[in-house]
Amino acid sequence: MHLFITLSALFALAANAHMAMFEPCARFISGIPSCPRPPAGQTYDYEIKTSIGTKDGIISPICKNLTPYSQPVANWTAGQQINVKFISGGAGHGGGHCQFALSYDGGKTFVVIHDEKRYCFFNGPSTSNTPEVLSYPITIPSTVPAGDHVIFAWSWINAIGNREFYMNCADVAIKSSSQSYSGPEMLIANYGPNTPVIPEFAGNYETGLSLFDKRPYITVYSNGTQYTG
């Protein structure tokens, strides 16, 4: 009986051990001393590594946790390079497509500023569940708008395993002289029956890229409005 319980616990842990962003601090992340406590009335997200949805249904809302921190967890300047870091010990599911995006309207729309297509968390094709890459240097475009309440988002469509969509969000502030920025809108897939399905890659890392090529371009503004081009 003890062995059964132990194995069951290990399988449960493996099922929940995917990937999560800790720098900048994802909303309500636990176990990171440099990250703030959740806002009043909210609790730590002890399942922050889990997906927000599958091809069959929605598990959590976009951003996973909707309530923002009262203060930004990072202060950036347009044009600077940041390092986005992920928790070790997660499951990399053979890679996949990651997007890094900004929202100026409270999470209604996200404009992509950086992609890691095909091999996100790996250095090339892989069937491993153990990530090889846990940090990505990303340059914040010099023309993104200023904002005191900007959402920085990481999202991921995994290469191997159940068809899922992962996403974490961080509340940041950006200094800039720009008022608008144009780029591709974040692709949302494998997030309920009303979104596109990107199947398992089965070794073909071009899987789903046609949908990325079709992302509409949007323009975001420092006042939070957006225009779809």
Full set of structural domains in the chain with CATH? 20-34+42-221 (2.70.50.70)
pLDDT of residue 204: 97
Q: 188 has which bridge partners?
A: none
pTM higher than 0.85: yes
Query: Region 56-83: what's the mean pLDDT?
Result: 97
For position 208, what pLDDT does the model report? 98
Report d(CA 201, CA 204) in Å as an integer.
Answer: 5
DSSP string covering 116-144 = E-SBTTSSS----SS-S--EEEEEPPTTP
What are the DSSP calls for the chain, one per residue? -HHHHHHHHHHHHHHH----EEETTPTTB-S-TTSPPPPTT---BTTTTS-SEETTEE-S-TTS--SPPSS-SEEEETT-EEEEEE-TT---TT-EEEEEEEESSSSS--EEEEEE-SBTTSSS----SS-S--EEEEEPPTTPBPEEEEEEEEEEEESSSS-EEEEEEEEEEEE-SB-EEEEEBPP--SSSTTS------TT-TTTTHHHHHTPPEEEEETTS-EEE-
- pLDDT per position as a tens digit, 93-117: 999 999 999 999 999 999 999 999 9
Contacts of 66 by beta carbon, 8 Å cutoff, 6+ apart: 107
Does residue 161 surpass a pLDDT of 80?
Answer: yes
pLDDT value of position 18: 87
pLDDT-derived band at 1 (thresholds 50, 70, 90) equals: very low
Confidence bin at 229 (pLDDT 50/70/90): low
Gap between the Cα atoms of 118 and 68, Å rounded: 30
